[in-house]
Every structure is written in C-alpha cells, then in structure tokens.
Amino acid sequence: MATGSDFAAACKQASRQMRRLPAELRRALAGEVRDQVAEPLAADIRGAWAGPYAHALAAATKARVQTDPQIVVGGTRRVVSGGASARALVYGTEWGGGRRVKAIPRTPQRKGHRRRTTQQFPRQGQHAVYGTIHRTLDRTLDRWADVVADIIDKALRDG
C-alpha cells in the first residue's frame, strides 16, 4: 500500500466484507480473533507501559471481541489517587505533558491558585500504544489473515 489512506480504505473494505458473513461464522471468527490476535497485541501493549502508572495503564488495556482485532486502552474510571482517569494517563504517557495552566477557584475553605496540569509526564511520551502497534503490525496482520482463512476453510469443509 502506498499511503496510510490506502491502508485505511483497505481496512474499511475488509470490515464491510466481514459484516456480510453469516452470524455464526462471525461469532466463531470474533472469538478466535480476540484469543489469537487482539489479546497478544494487548499483552504486548501492557508490557510496554513503564513508569509509576504502568500497573494502572496495564489494567486499562483490554481486547474486544470483534471480527477485526480491537484494543481498548483507557477509560473514564478514576485509577490513581490524584483522581486522574485511565484516559488522562494514556494521553499523558503517549504524548507527554503540556504547559496548560488550570485555575483552581477560590472557595470559603481554600485560596484560589493556578497550577500546571499534566506536568508529571515527560515532554515526549513513551509511545507504548502506537509504538507497539507499529512494531508488531506485520505480525498482527499475518495472524489475523491466518485466523480468517482457517475459520472460513473450516466453515466450508463443515458446511
């Protein structure tokens, strides 16, 4: 494929073709894709997290059951004592912290003040998600193609 847009178009076309498969074949395919493709990729991403929030980020990395490999990273649940959600931690560790200043309003119990946000992260992120996907893309696509071929061959032999 020449460009990223060509690859994206090919992926969308493959996804449309998968939706045309019979429901029982899609269910069998979804289970195998999760077990053989998405879960190993999620495990690679979990292993790539580093730093003080690695455990919380690893717990927030999950594989979905779909006919194409899908990984969910993050979430809205608060996972650290400071109140940050997994989504905020993923953003900070992938792309680094910023210089945004947040104004903390004054209340009767405390003075108002300003503080920098996401300063606990380095300027450059660690690229655990996108770096891992980029490094394992060929292996992941080969696994996915093998699983699809095996399931369809099995369905043709049985049916």
Q: Which two tokens stand for residue 89?
A: 């931690």
Residue 92 domain flag: yes
Q: Which two tokens stand for residue 92?
A: 């900070």
Residue 134 domain flag: no
Range of the domain at 72: 50-127
- Please write the tens of the pLDDT for every residue from 23-69: 999 999 999 999 999 999 999 999 999 888 889 999 999 999 988 88
Residue 139 domain flag: no
CB neighbourhood size of 106 (10 A): 10
- Please write the tens of the pLDDT for every residue from 22-31: 899 999 999 9
Residue 25 domain flag: no
The count of structural domains within the chain is: 1
